[in-house]
Amino acid sequence: MDESRAQLGGAANPTLMPAYYLYAVLPKIGGCGLTVQRNGQTCGYGFLFPRQMEGDTPVYTLRYHRLAAAPPVDADELTRQTARLLALRSRVIFYDPLTPKSYAASHRIIGELDLGRPDESEAAAIRAIHRTVWNNPPEILYPVDMHSTEFALPTSLVARADGQSAGFLFGMTKFGGTALPAPWQERLRHGLRLESQTMGVLPAFRGRHIAFLLKKAQAQDALALGIEIINWTADPLQFANASLNFTRLGALAYEFQPDLYVFRNELNRVAASRLNLTWLVGSQRVQERLSAAQSVAVVALAGRPEVVRVNDGHGAARFDADAATIAFEIPADWTALQRDDLLLAQRWRETTDRLFLHYLGKEEGRYIITSAGVDGERRYLLGERVDERLLESLCPPVIPKMWEV
């Protein structure tokens, strides 16, 4: 990966995927990188992205980057050889990011908002919003062309408000993923999933439920494609995100990866640890939350002694809790804490990393994060102990008819 980025121009090449994505995400969704040679000489690099399933046949997009001094390749021959390398029956579609692309804008009017796939100018605006929200350098921004019709992202959404692009959400097709709890394996189509990658809303447009509506549109699109599981990663210490993900959307977390991403930016000044979220978009629990006229309130923990708190701020961590529900305390404002006291932020990260690694899991007796909680000014993530009753309540044996798209 390092060699390919160096040879292809690195940060100066806006068609390259971010390095952290290639390292941490591409293998997770079932993709990989390729070195393409002719007569022993490297002529380019390719990156395989899961695209769709045609019956039992996986289809990949081969995003090919030719070295400047190398001759063009035979696209048909390259895709045939790549398909043979995969060691299973598959189809590979050649994709050159430098050729002209088409964009198919779509529109869903929701009140004063307009959500849909972006046109070409809006695809460029997505990259600009991403840079503004995170203050990211060019090397960790995504290429504009991936929102094209030819690249065929399953989720490519822009939120339009007051005549401009106000937010975005995009995600990739995913082949397989980590194992689900045993009862769910038999009930859900889990071989084809969606990896929701990045969502952002400009500060001036926050408070208008844009993030929720983008995720709802994503869930609708996934179900229309026959996808029942959406995964993504989230910083466990960002309470606003936790409130949206767990309380409003009904997502779940039982997997944790400390220091997942190597990058640092305004929102990640210390180790970028992440929860892996699982969103069962066809489940009754999720459908009810997406259809509700009002959002579910976060859990009020005052006067709830049965909920065992496993830490007191960044200290006093305990690893012996076995209550039905436990509470992980997280900072009230993680972004401000990282900005104002980096040493204290590091202590919070270290303490909560240890707790999540100890408690979270899908096995009986471990814990799944299902909601967010508050007690005065203090903020929490709530984990419920895994047993048959919990798994049945989160994903009943009979999946109800999906809500209208």
Q: Give Cα separations from 242 to 17, 256, 278, 294 (angstroms).
A: 27, 14, 13, 17
Please, which pLDDT band fits residue 405 given cuts at 50, 70 and 90? Answer: very low
Under DSSP, the state recorded for 398 is S
| Average pLDDT rounded to a whole number, residues 208-220 | 97
Please, which pLDDT band fits residue 180 given cuts at 50, 70 and 90? Answer: very high
- Output the average pLDDT for the chain: 93
Under DSSP, the state recorded for 240 is H
Residue 403 has pLDDT above 60, yes or no: no
Beta strands in 235-315 (DSSP E): 252-261, 272-280, 299-300, 308-309
Find all residues with CB under 8 Å of 100, minimum gap 6, and list them: none
pLDDT at position 404 = 45
Q: Where are the domains of the chain?
A: 2-95, 228-394
Please, which pLDDT band fits residue 88 given cuts at 50, 70 and 90? Answer: confident
Residue 114, H or E segment: strand 113-116
pLDDT at position 238 = 96
Are 167 and 200 within 8 A, CB to CB? yes
Angle of CA points 34, 37, 39, to nearest 5°: 160
Percent of the chain surpassing pLDDT 70: 96
Residue 401 has pLDDT above 60, yes or no: no
| Average pLDDT rounded to a whole number, residues 215-239 | 96
pLDDT in tens, 121-154: 999 999 999 999 988 888 889 999 999 999 999 9
Distance of CA 202 to the CA centre of its chain: 19
**Main-chain phi, psi angles of 166, to 5 degrees:** -105, -20
pLDDT in tens, 52-86: 999 999 999 999 999 999 999 999 999 999 999 99
pLDDT in tens, 305-338: 999 999 999 989 999 999 999 999 999 999 999 9
Token duo for residue 296: 């579910």
pLDDT at position 257 = 93
| Average pLDDT rounded to a whole number, residues 194-214 | 96
Mark residue 135 as left, alpha or beta (left: phi above 0; alpha: psi -120 to 50; beta: remaining).
left
pLDDT in tens, 16-60: 999 989 998 999 999 999 999 999 999 999 999 999 999 999 999
Residue with the larger pLDDT of the pair 210 and 186: 210
